[in-house]
Amino acid sequence: MDREERRRLRKQGHEDGPLLPAPGMEEVGRYFNAGNFEAAGEILEEILSVDPKNFEGNFGLGLVRAAEGKAAMAVSFFKTAAAVRPRDAEAHFNLGLALFQTGEPEEAAAAYRRSIEIAPNAATWLNLGILYQDTGDLAAAASYAKAIDINPRQAQAHNNLGNVRAQAGDREGAIRSYETALEIDPGNAAARSQLNAARARTIQGWHLPMLADTARNDAYEKAITQAVKKKKGAHVLDIGTGSGLLAMMAARAGAETVTACEINIPLADIARQVVSENGFADQITVIGKSSEKLVVGKDMARPADIIVSEIVDVGLLREGVLTTLSHAVQTLAAKGAEMIPASAEILAVLVEAPALRRVNPLSEISGFDLSAFDVFRDPGYRKIFLANQEHKLLSRPFPVAAFDFRTFRPGDPNHFDTLELEAEILEDGAAQAVVFWFELRLDEETVISTSPASGKTHWGQAIQFLDTDIPVCKGDRQAVTALLGIQEISFFLPVGKKTN
């Protein structure tokens, strides 16, 4: 059909009543699909020159202008189309898309909502979600969820929901969404890279250095192997299995069965995969739960003969080792069960550490007063490698606290014991910090020490700065007070209190 013929038919059609469909629309579709927007636009403009309120003409020209990147023009055509047919969901949807392009999010959201009222649709909910997400509106998650309700196979909605969840700090939810997006669309590169990033953030930074700490791994393997060999048919419980490493050591040593629990669900899922890939799926059951939620007879067939764990931070207590192991001994262990580790001790030393002191607390840096920034500093302890820091050891190491995990029973979780300790001063100086570490007794033979003197472990040492410098002299016996809670320890030096 040539241009003249179209014009003739259109004129006739217009005079005879509304054009449905307008002559030439098939050609418009062909041009549009071939990316020839100019030719498609020309025909549509001809239609509108005869019948400015023609729905197809306005709707089609809206699509053409949007495809050409002329969003403001597209808005005007979609508005006319939506006015001509107020119950046309697609007109409102496309108006929403174009308004979003022109930077009018509120009007765009209204157009999407109108479209949804007329005909709820996964693509519209998805785009409403994108709009909300773009404007930082928390309603984004609910919109993506609606899109998924209508079409559970819409990979982009799962992926975008993953992004909203990741932004809200829901790492596990984000990982589940990305995994679903990838199940639906395995080639979805965005979901793949976001899943990798979310998984990397799931594990704390210390997991990899910990796994690279071969002295730690070897010490555990030695103790685990000996314990398993001593107990024929042993059932082992690995609390906080992480990658599954200690559970697999137990299985390799010949444990009959191993229950490996891990509170971090994405970690537990991967541990299950690791266990299976190493051929231990028949021996090891990985459970994504806190040990404190395990039930004997349900999660584990029988109480454990050996309880293995490595849930200690640089200061020993913050990962909750005392409560966790006390609970495990009382509810998950067979009578006389072995504990690896069996006990631990915290030791400490007074140090002068002038370089670190400059930022503990924060005061003047490069001539500026940064003391207000000190609110962001954790006044408790943190990890250092003492050997890498400028420091002077001022005292002999002194014992702080010892715990036998087989018998320790926590009391009031809010209670802090006050421990009156004493440090024998070996050097004159200013006591600025307490450096402390632990000795973890795995069994009668094997001890892991994180002391500065016993070589590098991934744990390093804990350092806690004192509020003020305390001058000490060689030969003094300096009083030190420790406040010991179930998951925390802190130190201070009573000013002027020498015990000699």
Contact between 115 and ligand SAM by CB under 6 A: the answer reads no
Contact 149, 121 (CB under 8 A): no
Q: How far apart are CA 314 and CA 460, in angstroms?
A: 7
263 binds ligand SAM (CB under 6 A): yes
Q: Does 324 bind ligand SAM (CB under 6 A)?
A: yes
Q: Nearest Cα to 228, choosing from 257, 253, 259?
A: 253
As measured in angstroms, the least distance from the Cβ of 292 to ligand SAM is 6
- Dihedral (Cα; 36, 41, 43, 49), 10-degree rounding: -170
**Interface with ligand SAM, residue 460, by CB under 6 A:** no
Q: Closest separation between CB of residue 325 and ligand SAM, Å?
A: 9
The set of catalytic residues is: 310, 319
Q: Does 275 bind ligand SAM (CB under 6 A)?
A: no
Q: Residues 392 to 431: which contact ligand SAM by CB under 6 A?
A: none
Residues 6+ apart with CB under 8 A from 40: 27, 28, 31, 32, 60, 64
Is residue 319 involved in binding ligand SAM (CB under 6 A)? yes
Using rule CB under 6 A, residue 246 touches ligand SAM: yes
Residues near 454 by beta carbon (within 8 Å), at least 6 away in sequence: none
* Interacting residue with ligand SAM among 115, 188, 291, 360 (CB under 6 A): 291
- Scan residues 46-75 and list those touching ligand SAM (CB under 6 A): none
Determine the Cα–Cα distance for residues 62 and 72; give it in Å rounded to an integer.
Answer: 10
Is 480 a binding residue for ligand SAM by CB under 6 A? The answer is no
Closest contact distance (angstroms) between CB of 264 and ligand SAM is 4
User: Are the C-beta atoms of residues 350 and 423 closer than 8 Å to each other?
Assistant: yes
Give the residue, chosen from 97, 245, 300, 448, that forms a contact with ligand SAM under the rule CB under 6 A: 245
Nearer to ligand SAM, 23 or 240 (CB): 240
With b meaning 16 or more CB within 10 Å and e meaning fewer, what string describes 110-123? ebbebbbebeebbb
Told to check if 292 binds ligand SAM by CB under 6 A, we report yes
Half-sphere exposure of 69 toward its Cβ, with a 13 Å CA cutoff? Answer: 0
Dihedral sign from CA coordinates of 133, 137, 141, 146: negative
Q: How far is the CB of 293 from ligand SAM (least distance, A)?
A: 8
Interface with ligand SAM (CB under 6 A), residue from 163, 188, 194, 241: 241
Place of tokens 């306005």: 58
Residues found near ligand SAM in the complex (CB under 6 A): 210-211, 239-243, 245-246, 261-264, 267, 290-292, 310-311, 319-320, 324
